[in-house]
Structure 1
Amino acid sequence: MRIRLTLASVLALLLAGCQNAPTTPNAISLDDPMENAPPVTSGFDAEGLSSLLIAELAGQRGDYRRAAEGYLDVNERYASPALAERATLAARYADDSALLERTALRWQQLENDATTPRHVLASLAVQRGDWETALAQRLRIADQEPEADLAALAELAIEQDADVAPLLKPLRDFVERHPDHLDAQLATAQLEAANGDTESADSRLARLADTEEAPAEVWLTRSMIALNNGALDDAQRYARQGLERFPDDSRLRLTQAQARLADGDIEAADEDVERLLARHDDTSSLRLALAQLYLDAAHPDGARRLLLPLLDRDKTPTPAYLMLGSIAEQAGDIDNALLYYRQVPNGDGFIEARAQAVKMLVGADRAQDASAFLRIERLRHPDQRIALLRLELDVLDAQGQRARADELLDEAIAKTPEATELRFQHAMRAYHQGDLETMEADLRTIIEREPDNAEALNALGYTLSNDMSRHQEALPLIEKAHRLEPESPAILDSLGWVYFHLDRAQEALPYLREAYRGQPDQEVAAHLAEVLAATGRDAQARALVEEALQRFSPHPLIDELLRRHPELAPADENDASSNVGPGSTRDTEASS
């Protein structure tokens, strides 16, 4: 039995009110990115001062991307840590992780002892799953600060099913140099346990527990590791020992409750839960989190008991309705579940609730009830009519009633011809039915009304090029879409692909590389591999094909590529090009 550490960890942080270092760049707590920026006062010539003023004005106007790039440009000439810091603070608000990484790297380069850029770089590494880089940055922070959130990073890596083995050596080297660094010791123990070396982890934690000054985190970590390994008696024992020394530690109380739930001691777990609720003001978020513990332990009655009081509060949280609906659905009480799902108000979770209700009804052979439910919901929530209509189209398609779905969509467009989303949906349905003429007409109608609709420009451009061989006509459409949304992976892919068809493979390559970095799916992989081969990079193309064959299943677009270019098949896949399935058409709606 394997129990995730993550939920207990999140709840522990919630209950204890702890704060970690930022795990995302947006977690840097500044209302105004320039408010606490260091002054830059001297050493500029006229051009440098002009560039600096432009950056300052851009920041004041809220154009943080331009501000960050301006500070970087000036910094290239003057190599000022203060300028690099200002660039990083501005980039934090620009919603551009690549720009934020550039600014933080520059700051780190100029001020190697500064920990803030290392926090930013570690967070960015976590976002892209580069755990070794994240750990390296956190360890450099730990060299200077007692709290580098190494244990929190270890928990997150375990949660994300990362390969923890490469993380152990740098951590062990660090604790050998800093044996009294508690955070590093706890992180090392967690990773040792996750890597299967429970004996080393337990020995490490036992040594820490023998000291008088050992904090509650030692027993918490021991209990959570035991819980994760299914050693429920040990998990309860460590939690109990910790509570004997730290009776008010809610994290230990929570872990004990989780272990008791897993062990089937519901009555004892209920006592822990009631104590937690009493201690922490019975907040809605706490009830929801504790209810999830009961659900994870397959005790829906306990979850329902915690959730029902939330229905009487002034503002019932959406997850309460979703969880109660799921509990009723799992119990076979379809009608009661439907009542819960339909109570989810407009906002987050609204469509999710209706989608789950429809899935439930269709699964119970009540497809007609699902359609009737959605029609009523469209009347009750006219502002959500388009999203609800899409759900009904999916229901009809799943029941083989495509003609009725088309008719329903045509009726909706006739009533609201200005609704771009409906027209785009109509275009995509036409595409999948092979009616490219109708699709083109729909997309041109959208573009005529909304000349800067990048999605429509890209969809039309890609279809003209890929499916109709009208490459010259497609190019300006895709180039305009790229100017409007220069970082969109789908548009980058389209631009690279049309360049390739126009015999501009060398120009296509950087766009396709960037597209694959942002959207590593098999379609972009197939495009990139073909262009790599066309530009004489056969080894890179074969390596990419091999990666794609391992990464995607099924992989019809890679199979189609190998049918046309069998020489790209990996050396150990001699039958790759002979045992392939039928080709497939690009899903324009999803990928363009």
Structure 2
Amino acid sequence: MRHYVEMPVRSPAARRGLRPLAAALALATVSAWAQDAAAPPAAPASSPPAAVRNSLLDAPLFYQLLIGEIEAREGQPGAAYQVILDAARRSRDETLFRRAVEIALQARAGEEALTATRAWRSALPTSQEALRTELQILSAMNRLDQAAEPLRALLLLATPAERSGLIAAVPRFLQRPADPAHSARLVEEVLKPYLEQPAHRVAAQVAIGRSWAAAGDGERALGLAQQAHAADPAAEPPVLLALELLPTRSEAEPIVREYVARPDAEPALMLLYARALMTLQRYPDALHQLETVTRRKPELAPPYLTLGALYLDLKQPAQGEAALQRYLALTEGAADTKADDSASTGDDDASTPTQGRVQAWLMLAASADQRGDYAAAERWLAKIDDPQRALEVQARRASMLARQGRIDEARKLLQAAPERSPQDARAKLDAEAAILREAQRWQDAYDVMAKALKTSPDDPELLYEQSMMADKLGRADEMERLLRRVIELKPDNAHAYNALGYSLADRGERLGEARDLIARALELAPNDPFITDSLGWVEFRLGNRAKALELLQRAYASRPDAEIAAHLGEVLWAEGRQDEARRVWAEARGRDARNEVLVETLKRLKVRL
């Protein structure tokens, strides 16, 4: 951390005279401060005129502030800091203390910023802003050992009504510490007295739990969430903590389930739970939760957007389009401000009604495109007048052209789309490759990916996509090399392990290794239905039909995808359960008749439905 050199208050600017422009700028700053310092509190219109309040700005202080601002603007932060801090001490004004801290932080001088906040606290002991600023600086400097005292002081200054909210915010005052466990111990130490106070116990338990969760101690965090929920089953903070823990701690789910079963459950938390279930790829459970929200609160728009997206993802276009139409009806004429609190649940693409409507139009266009109603798809796209989404609109139009067999036109349309950033260039190549994959022009798609890899040779996503194209071209050795490179670059990439294991199993090669690879993928992404499907398929190849059937039925129940159905049907067929196999295949064909694996399976087994 850089430190300032001690300088006398009589500064270089004072010795050399005031440059006209710098003086003018500084005068503007000083005048604004003077008006703020002199302004009386606003009074109601019916109140008598307030007494005149004289400004704190006398001639010496005016000159001092002027010199300080000139020094700051002319690149002399050390002198500016000393002058402004001295003025703040003499005037005991928060605005000037804040300005001294700001000058120090702009110069990346943490010690001086800390000194200024402590001088601020000394002059104004009841200033919560001074305490908050000190905590932010201590956290940035990783001096958690000094943070306990200001944290306690801040909590004591709060009114009883404010204190629970402030307790909940304590972990945020210590963001991104170098030692998260140390931070958690500090939070626990500071909040220990509030665990004995019924009015603040739940807030303290959740704050401590959140700190331990950030430190990687999920077991301790879960215990605190359970205690807080038991103390107040209607409280929302323990449920939010349980939702944070859910991806790695399935034992947290009863807290959430008990809460959402309450008739007074907050819809925003129910929606968060549904999205968490979608992340865990528990689609039937997510669907049930979303349908419950829309049944309880049919006038609430955000759940319909998520519900529509999920239905479309599950290849149920009629239900998906109906949900999206309902969302559009509910948001018609909605102001383009922050969406209601129920929508503010992390869905960045739909954080305002306008953004949500654009998202709905894009999904409706995609659905119409999928069922071949290109006129309807174009009507939805024509509604979108957002430069930020222009590339998505063009990509959808290109997809429509490709579905009509006009592949070259589709590619030209994408290539001509303007690029506002390197991300746009990448998105264009991804969209072009997707069109070529759907048209089964594997070599062309491979070439597009190769072009992208020239600029980003170690991009795991590009390498993964290239491996898939190599597989389609029958280049098994190249596919394996690319996937092993992905695993080397990103050892937690579950899809790479799964793809390599499935490829080996599908070819009937190195089945033991294939099972190990897929098992590792499932460790990284528990409950993923596609990885569960792969494991079922390798068990089938190994001759373990009972185990294969169990895994494939579980995968299909979670995600009724056509490829999973193809595998499940084949195992049922091999077990002599032809009627069940035909039923599964017929369901899958109704959802996705063009699925390659399903088409190939029916053809190979000579099955007519």
TM-score normalised by structure 1 residue count: 0.46
Compare relative contact order (CA 8 Å, sep 6+) and give the higher one, 1 or 2. Answer: 1
**Structure number, greater radius of gyration:** 2
